[in-house]
Structure 1
Amino acid sequence: MTATTPYDADRARFTRQALARLVLCDHAADVADGASGLVSTENDPDTGSGGRVSQAFQLIELAERALAPAVIYERERGSSWAEIAPYLGISPAEAEERFAVNPDGWNTAFDVPYRLDDTGRKRVPQPPTAAYDPAWACDRLDTWARSQLVLVNDARPVSSGLVKVPEKEFPSVTP
C-alpha cells in the first residue's frame, strides 16, 4: 500500500480554513435540501400523517450537524471562543467545553488522515468527505449553488471564494 493517494495532492492545494469552509458548505447544502422538501405543497396528499413534522424535525437535526463544522471553520479562521460563544447563547468556557472535541477531531484527521479498516488492508479516510476530496466537493457544491441560488453569476460560486495554498508552497505529493 502506498503512503499517499491522489486526494492528498488535491487537499494540499487548499488551506485548512478553505477545507473547513467546504465541509460547512456541504452541510449547509444538506440543510437547504432538507428545507426545500417542506416548501412544495404538491405532494401533501401523499404524505402520511405526521410526515411534515418528521421532515421539519429532520431539518433541525441537519442544522445541528452543521453547527460543529461552523465552529471548526470559525476556529480555523481565527475566531476565539469568546467571539463564538455569544452566537451560541452560552459562555466561552461552555462553548469550548461543548465544541473543542470537534476541532480536536479535525486536527487529528489532518495529523493521521487514514486509518486501516478491521481487515488491515483498506485505508479509511479520517477527514470529512468534503475535506478529504476537495476537488469533488468543489465541483458538487459549485453545481449545487448554480442550480439552487438565484443571484449567482459566478461559474464557481463556492470554490472561487476558497483560499488556496500558493502553488509554490504546497508539497508535491505523488502516489
Structure 2
Amino acid sequence: MTETTPYDADRARFTRQALARLVLCDHAVDVADSARGLVATENDPDTGPGGRVSQAFQLIELAQRALASAVIYERERGSSWSEIAQYLGIDAAEAGARFAADLDGWDKAFDAPYRLDEAGRKRIPQLPTAAYDPSWACDQLDRWAYLQRLGIDQHQAVSSGLVMAAPEEESSSVPP
C-alpha cells in the first residue's frame, strides 16, 4: 500500500519508542477507568449475580493488554529480554517467546499501517489507535492525565516526556 494517509506525516514526528509509549498510556487509561468501576458500591443492587466478577475479569484482560504494550515499549527503548524477564519472574527465553506474537504484530503494522476492507474502500488501521493517530492520542491522554491530576497542573503530562523523531528522521519516514 503506497497511498499515504493524513496521519503518516504526523506519525513520522514520533519515534517508534514514543508511539509505543502512547499505546501503553492508552492501555493504562483503559485499566484505570475499568478499575474505577469496581470501587463504588452504590450500584451493586443493579448488578446481576456475577456482575462484579465480569468487571474484574475484564480488568485482568485489559491489564494483560497493558503488559504486552509495556513489553513492546521496553523493547523499543532498548531493554533486553533479561531485563524484562526479571520483572515477570521468568527467564529471558520464556519472556521472548511469550511476547513474540505481540512484537511481530507491532513490527508488521509499521510495514503496513492499514489494510483495506473487503470492498477495498475503507482503511483499517493495523497499528493501535494511539500509534496510528498520535496527535489525537496526545490530546486525549494529556486531557485525561490533567483531569486525574496526575501531573498536578501539567497540561502535557503525557506528551511532554515523549522521545520525538529528529527532523531528518521525519522526512525520511514519510512515504513518497
For normalisation by structure 2, the TM-score amounts to 0.91
Secondary structure (helix, strand or coil) at the match of 1:171 reads helix
- What RMSD, in angstroms, separates the aligned Cα atoms of the two structures? 1.9
Residue 174 of structure 1 deviates from its aligned partner by: 8.5
Give the corresponding residue for 2:75: 75
The Cα offsets for residues 106-135 of structure 1, whole Å up to 9 and x where unpaired, read as: 111111212222122322221111100001
**Alignment of structure 1 residues 73-152 onto 2, 5 Å:** 73-152=73-152
Secondary structure (helix, strand or coil) at the match of 1:170 reads helix
Residue 150 of structure 1 deviates from its aligned partner by: 4.8
Give the partner amino acid of 1:42. E
On the 8 A contact 2:146/2:152 being kept in 1, the answer is yes
Aligned length: 175
**Alignment of structure 1 residues 1-175 onto 2, 5 Å:** 3-171=3-171, 173=174
Secondary structure (helix, strand or coil) at the match of 1:164 reads coil
Residue 10 of structure 1 deviates from its aligned partner by: 0.8
Give the partner amino acid of 1:109. A
On the 8 A contact 1:5/1:174 being kept in 2, the answer is no
Pair 1:134–1:151, CA change in 2 (3 A):
closer
Secondary structure (helix, strand or coil) at the match of 1:59 reads helix
Give the partner amino acid of 2:143. T
Instruction: Provide structure 2 residue ranges, at least 5 long, that are not aligned to the other structure.
Output: none
Off by >6 Å, runs of 4+ in structure 1: none
2:169 & 2:151 partners in 1: Cα distance? 34
Percent of pairs identical after alignment? Answer: 74
Residue 2 of structure 1 deviates from its aligned partner by: 7.3
Deviates more, 1:147-156 or 1:126-135: 147-156
Residue 168 of structure 1 deviates from its aligned partner by: 4.4
1:77 & 1:112 partners in 2: Cα distance? 22
2:12 & 2:72 partners in 1: Cα distance? 18
Pair 1:4–1:151, CA change in 2 (3 A):
closer
For normalisation by structure 1, the TM-score amounts to 0.92
On the 8 A contact 1:19/1:130 being kept in 2, the answer is yes
